[in-house]
Amino acid sequence: MQSRSIPTVTRCWRMAGAVLLACAALAGCATTASPFAARVTAFQQWPADAVGQSYRFARQAEAAQGADDLEYRSYEDIIRANLGGIGLVEAQPWDRQPRFTVSFRYGSEPFQTWAEVAAPPPPPMMGYGFYGRRGWGWGMGMGMPFGGWGWGYPGYSGYQAVPVTAYRNILEVSIRDSQRGGAEVYQGRAVHEGRADALPQTMSYLAASIFSNFPQNNGETHTVRIPR
């Protein structure tokens, strides 16, 4: 008896270990954040000699959006870091003729969409009961909607579509070239759709999406994914 129990206990421990490993794997998958995704559209006639050239922000043109408030200046810092990444240098205060002028706009807008949520199961179905002394009677029968034996509920999937409010977080960047008479040489727009009105949390990702693969092909729209 004792010699037989050892393999049984070993198998139990092996099964328990496998279950724990599976749970750990599922937990790891559940906690992995999905990448940030934005749709980026760009129009550009970007000059080939732009690297090393100076720029300034067009704060006067953005006064209506609050160019002097803390939120605007915080977003300006984010865009400044990305402009440095493409080789532009911010002009010093005494430099009155920088080559490029950079402006940007931002905002969020709600829109209606649909989401799937768990739906309560329908009430038990009525069916024929057992045959007794007085003939056939009525009884209650439960189906199995998610598999297993028995009959399921026709058309029941366990989920239902409900209307929800989602948000588009938007960043637009424009760059003008003084050597071309102030003509616009770059126009980029990044749009991220999410469940929350979270522009401050998404601004760094929106800016990184615009300046990823800068200046990209003229008139092209593509999806940029950035790890969170």
pLDDT digits (tens, 9 = 90+) for 52-80: 999 999 975 455 555 568 999 999 999 99
d(CA 150, CA 101): 70
pLDDT-derived band at 115, boundaries 50, 70, 90: low
Indicate the range of 57-61, 91-95, 134-138 predicted with least confidence: 134-138
d(CA 203, CA 83): 15
Query: Would residue 24 count as lying in a domain?
Result: no
d(CA 164, CA 173): 30
Q: Calculate mean pLDDT across residues 14-19.
A: 50
d(CA 145, CA 151): 8
Among residues of the chain, what percentage have pLDDT more than 90? 50
Query: Would residue 122 count as lying in a domain?
Result: no
Strand partners, 191: 39, 170
Query: Would residue 185 count as lying in a domain?
Result: yes
- Whether omega before 215 lies within 30 degrees of 0, making that bond cis, reads yes
Token readout for 85 is 């990444």
pLDDT of residue 122: 65
pLDDT-derived band at 197, boundaries 50, 70, 90: confident
pLDDT of residue 125: 55
d(CA 78, CA 72): 10
Query: Would residue 90 count as lying in a domain?
Result: yes
Average pLDDT over all residues of the chain: 78
d(CA 208, CA 38): 10
pLDDT of residue 154: 57
Under 8 Å between Cβ of 41 and 223: no
pLDDT of residue 68: 62
d(CA 164, CA 137): 46
What is the tens place of the pLDDT at every residue in 200-214? Answer: 999 999 999 999 999
Quote the number of domains for the chain: 1
Under 8 Å between Cβ of 171 and 39: no
Angle between helices 199-210 and 70-85 (to 10 degrees): 20
Query: Would residue 30 count as lying in a domain?
Result: no
Among residues of the chain, what percentage have pLDDT more than 70? 64
Q: Calculate mean pLDDT across residues 183-189.
A: 98
pLDDT of residue 8: 52
Residue 157 exposure: Cα atoms within 13 Å on the Cβ side: 5
Indicate the range of 49-63, 88-102, 171-185 predicted with least confidence: 49-63
Phi, psi dihedrals of residue 172, rounded to the nearest 5°? -125, 135
Count of other CB atoms within 10 angstroms of residue 211: 22
pLDDT-derived band at 50, boundaries 50, 70, 90: very high
- CATH number, domain containing residue 63: 3.30.160
Query: Would residue 105 count as lying in a domain?
Result: yes
Please indicate whether residue 161 or residue 14 has the higher confidence score (pLDDT).
161
pLDDT of residue 103: 96
Under 8 Å between Cβ of 173 and 188: yes
Q: Calculate mean pLDDT across residues 138-158.
A: 50
Strand partners, 184: 176
Query: Would residue 135 count as lying in a domain?
Result: no
d(CA 171, CA 190): 5
Domain carrying residue 217: 36-115+170-226
Identity of residue 142: M
